[in-house]
Each structure stands twice: as C-alpha cells, then as structure tokens.
Amino acid sequence: MSIPMIMTPGPTSVRENVRLARAIETTNPDLDLEFYDFYKETCDKVGEFLKTKNSVRILSGEGILGLEAACASLTEAGDRVLVLDNGVFGKGFGDFVKMYGGEPIYFKGDRREAINIDELKSFLKKDSNFKYATIVHCDTPSGVLNPVQDICPLLKEKGILTVVDSVSAMGGEELKVDSWNIDVALGASQKCLSAPTGLSFLSISDEAFSAMENRKTPIGSFYCNLLVWKDYYEKKWFPYTPPISDIVGLRKAVDNILEDKRILQRHESIANALRNAITKAGLNLYTRNGYSNTVTVIEVPEGINSKQLTDYILKEFNLMIAGSFDFLEGKVIRIGNMGENATKEKVIYTLNALQSALEYYKINLKANMAKEFIQNLKINY
C-alpha cells in the first residue's frame, strides 16, 4: 500500500513517536492497577491541554461517539435543547437530541459566517428555557469558526448547560474550557492531536454530572452513558476494556502538543499565509468571516468539480486533500492544515499540487500560490 500524504481535515498524519508508542507491549488494562493511573494521568493531561480542572474521560470510539455520548447522557424525553446550527455538524447535533427523545430548537446562522452574538442575544431574550445547548467550535465541512468564548458565557448566564464540539479546532485554535464556561467539551484523536482515529474524549463539569445524576429516567444507552465512567478510578473498574494501545498513542500525542509551546502561532501563521495565497491566485474562500486556522475551504471554480481536482492531485502527487459533503458536496475542496499537517513543507507541496491541478483543468490563476505562501509566512515553521 502506498500511503499518500494526507492533507485532509482529519485524519491527519501521525508522528513517528506516536506510531511507535502504539507498538509497545501491553498489559491487561482491566486488571493491572497501574493502568488506572496511566489512564487517569492521560485524562489529566488532556485536561491541561483543554485548560480545565473538570474531569476528563477518554472513550473508545472516534469523534462522533463523544457527540452522541453527551446528548445521550444529558437528554431526557421532552427536554428542550438549543442547537446552534450554522453548519453540517451544528445541525447534526439536533439528530442526536431527537434520537434520545429531546426537542431540538434550532438557532440558525449563515452557513458562511460565524454565529452572530447579537442575534443570539435577541433570540435568548425571547426564549432561554433550554436544558443545554450544543455548539460546534469549527464546523469542518465549511471551515467556519464560532466564537465559543462569547457564546458559552452568554448561555450560562441564562442557566443553560453548554456542550461544545471542538473536535477539529482544539490544538489549532485557542480553547479555554473553564474560563469560557464549557460544561462538556469534546474532542477526538485524529484531528489536531494527530493520533490515529479511534478515540474521543470529553471534559465534564460537576454541573453536567449533576444534570445526569438528577435525571428522572435512566440514560438510554450503555456505550454512550457518561455516568458509568464517573467513579472508575475510585472503584478500579472500567465499564469496558479500554483500547490500551490507542490510549498509549494518544498520551504521546498529547505530550507532543503540550511540548509545542508555539502551536497556536504556528497554526495562525500557516493558515493566514495559506488563505492569502489562495485569494491572491484569484480563488475564493468559502467562509466570509470566522476562519478556522485548522482547515482551509476553497470554492471550486466554475466548470469543474471537486472530485476532478482531488483525483488528479492524488494520482499525480500522491497527496490527499478533501472535498466536502452534505450541502457542500462537489462545491469546495478542503485542505486540513491542522496538527502535524500544519508545516511549511507540506503546505508548499499541497499548493504546488493544487496549482498544477487547476492549470491542468485550464483554470487561470493570478499568482503562484506556493510562492505567495512562502512570502507571507511570518514565522518559519
């Protein structure tokens, strides 16, 4: 199998020390008490990364499990849940709410723009009777970054619990769970953290745990039940056998991130120079404001579709970039400039490939994108 360079917005490429960590000899994680400490320390490190003192749980399943577990654990029949919907993942939260018997109330925002705080304020003046709200930090299919730092404190003022999907933002964008009032923050291994796919993790506030414990009806799931994890450490009992190699790999990936003191500046600088190169060439970014520094979403020029470009780039450059899905299917291409992907060399290679593909399809570009990128990159990552 010839592995292409994966410049996709998750999964991202995995550093060698993470791959090697996954290969070490493993113990029985249910019976070996030392593993309980290792798991707990790993959760605490994830908490450090998320800037929270709340307890963290790592679950055995990729990112979607975290979204469903939060909704399953918090939702009871008839609960009203505010779903902030300005993208595919934003809207999708409503389906999990419904699945567990809740009533999603959608606050809709422009698909190309960040959630507008003033509009949200006036919405909440009329109606704020919600048990919790769901917010997507970066809605990856469109690349829109939402101002979680303003949204969550506003919701908490109204007594609404906050659930934030930061799967594709954390690590590349600032995320301060405690000072931003986030009750449940969820992430996954395969985006900026740059570990292989397979794990999701959540930080859970005491208030969120209380809401789960004070339910009138039991949580309608075992695998998605966050309460079954509550006292694992005291009881030395895991609800199911943890995937030990995945967790050892994640631990190394978190260590990599915690050591990387300039990680946010790196993402910002790479993403800015990349967006600048795209627009200098005469291409359009999909997003109008609220650009995430983790993914770059570019409109496909008239006359061609995303698949032609991604196929050409894979065949000629052994490089994978992504199209998108849902309402953006065929219309945009996405570069995942996140985590291990966010380096100067990889972005230059990607822009050269994209330039060739567009030229092959007779699209006139106004600039050499790789050259523009290099000129605008302030810090040499």
Ligand X SMILES: *Cc1c(COP(=O)(O)O)cnc(C)c1O
In the complex, which residues of this chain contact ligand X (CB under 6 A)? 10, 62-64, 89, 136, 140, 165, 167-168, 188, 191
Q: What is the C-alpha separation between 8 and 125, in angstroms, rounded?
A: 40
Q: How far is the CB of 372 from ligand X (least distance, A)?
A: 27
Which is closer to ligand X, CB of 197 or CB of 276?
A: 197
334 is in an annotated binding site: yes
Residue nearest to ligand X (CB): 63
Q: What is the C-alpha separation between 201 and 223, in angstroms, rounded?
A: 13
Q: How far is the CB of 87 from ligand X (least distance, A)?
A: 8
Which is closer to ligand X, CB of 191 or CB of 251?
A: 191
Which is closer to ligand X, CB of 36 or CB of 89?
A: 89
- DSSP assignment string, 282-316: T--BS-SS-B-TT-EEEEPPTT--HHHHHHHHHHH
Helix 244-259 × helix 33-50 angle, to 10°: 40
CA 282 to chain centre: 29
Q: How far is the CB of 204 from ligand X (least distance, A)?
A: 17
Q: What is the C-alpha separation between 314 and 307, in angstroms, rounded?
A: 10
**Strands of 161-165's sheet, edge to edge?**
55-60, 199-204, 184-188, 161-165, 132-136, 80-85, 103-108
Q: How far is the CB of 165 from ligand X (least distance, A)?
A: 5
Q: How far is CA 163 from CA 55, 228, 234, in A?
A: 15, 19, 26
Which is closer to ligand X, CB of 65 or CB of 248?
A: 65
Q: Which helix (H) or strand (E) segment is 162 a member of?
A: strand 161-165
Which is closer to ligand X, CB of 68 or CB of 268?
A: 68
- What residues form the annotated binding site? 334
Q: Which residues are annotated as a binding site for substrate?
A: 334
